[in-house]
Amino acid sequence: MSEADTPSTSAPANIEEDSREGKETDARARVIKWCVVIACALSIAFIPVPQGITAQSWRLLAIFVATIIGSILRPVPSGAVVLIGVAMVALTGALPVEQALRGYADPIVWLVLAAFFISRGMIKTGLGRRIALLFVRTMGRHSLGLGYALISTDMVLASVIPSNGARSGGIIFPIAKSIAETYDSKPGATARRLGSFLTVLLYQCDVIVCAMFLTGQASNVLIAKFAREAAGVELSYARWLLGAIVPGLISLLVIPLLLYRIFPPEIKHTPRAAEFADEELRRMGPVRLPEMLMLVVFGLVAALWMTTALHGLNYAVVALAGICVLLLSGVLDWSDVLSERGAWDVFIWYGGLVRMAEALGETGLTKLFATAAASVTIGWTWGAALMILLLIYFYAHYGFASITAHATAMYTPFLIVTIAAGAPPVLAVLSLAYLSNLNASLTHYGTTPAPIWFGANYVRQRTWWWLGLMVSVPNILIWVAAGFVWWKFLGWW
């Protein structure tokens, strides 16, 4: 038998060796990350406790900071990091166990959980895909119109679905990728034909959509809670949307046009996209009963959320009632609820962070920080102080891998500082709330769907970051200039 015919055992051996080396590298990385997390906690724990702050409150701060750093570095998934943080809060006596676990009884946490199940129904019944395809069939004969069709879908779904991962990554992304491949635009040499443009456009506009609705992404209801506790400003569903509608629509008009100019697709006309949508809709067939029921629940939940001031029902109660209807009608079954891993993951880390952030605010530490930080802007006009603080807050997102981690760590302290500098409370609340979403445009890890879009490999990291930086400038200008004027017109400040 010749050497060429001899079975080779070296390849499998090399694969096993590479696998072992990869696991060892991952293990070392995890150890290093844990060392950084623990070092952050200890560096705070061993600092002398400031006057007026209890030892328990200082331990809570150390654990909270370590939890936020852990959520950024992710030595284990974020849910596990927060669960460990909650356990440490109870073990160290920073909070009694019933207080440490109280976040899981918060209606906001249940609102987010229930809304994730609604998004499951949208995907399971195919209603979300049908809405997207209808928009594409109507508007998708030009590459820019195609983009606006999918952006419009994102807006409709964001009115109820707070999971931008399910919305943008689960519904919009597969359709956009399929259409790009219809035009032979794939990662690599043909990426710029259509796929690169759609990837950047739809992600950047999803970030704007996230800012427009209280349900735009999961952290917005948490931000609304911080605003109420720190500044006494109530951000209801309707008020959030009313405040965002003008700057949001301007951004959705300007940003696609900007990207079309500085990062244009090679293919400008896309009649096959409309044909693709038409063919897919034919395959789906007529609207079925589960889709009709899902549409009714979707509409009712959105309507009740917008009219909370009239009926007084809590957002969480409305969402849970919608889930009950879906379960009773058979649109969802209990296995759908149990298998929605993303929802339960959010429930774990969200409930933990809600309580830790709330408890930290009760200690007086955030006010202490605000007093120290406000001294830097003494003598400044409130407008200048607000602008500088907003820019620092926005671009600090380069250091965060999620909107939640960023908002939990920085929203309340920056809100207190801006108000202390003389800024009108509503102006400070809204500016920081909307920028908390828009800053996710900067990186390929800024929020949940970012790795999904970036992972399609249509856009290099350097290009992604450059475009994110380019888009951030007009976004900030629009939301500050048009936003301030609009909120003044509404009489909010």
pLDDT for the residue numbered 123: 79
Encode 150-184: b = buried (16+ Cβ within 10 Å), e = exposed: bbbbbbbbbbbbbbbbbbbbbbbbebbbebbeebe
- What are the mean pLDDT values of the chain's consecutive 10-residue runs (493 residues total)? 48 61 80 93 88 86 87 83 92 91 83 78 84 85 91 89 78 84 87 93 96 91 90 92 97 96 92 86 91 89 78 83 92 91 81 79 69 70 90 85 80 88 93 96 84 85 92 96 96 93
pLDDT for the residue numbered 246: 97
Burial degree of 382 (CB within 10 A; 0-12, 13-18, 19+): middle
pLDDT for the residue numbered 1: 44
pLDDT for the residue numbered 138: 87
> How does DSSP classify residue 234?
-
The pTM of the full predicted model, rounded to 2 decimals, is 0.72
Chain centroid to Cα 369, Å, comes to 26
Chain centroid to Cα 285, Å, comes to 33
Token pair of 147 as six digits: 């983009």
Nearest-Å Rg of the Cα atoms of the chain is: 24
Helix, strand, or coil (residue 161): coil
Amino acid at 173: F
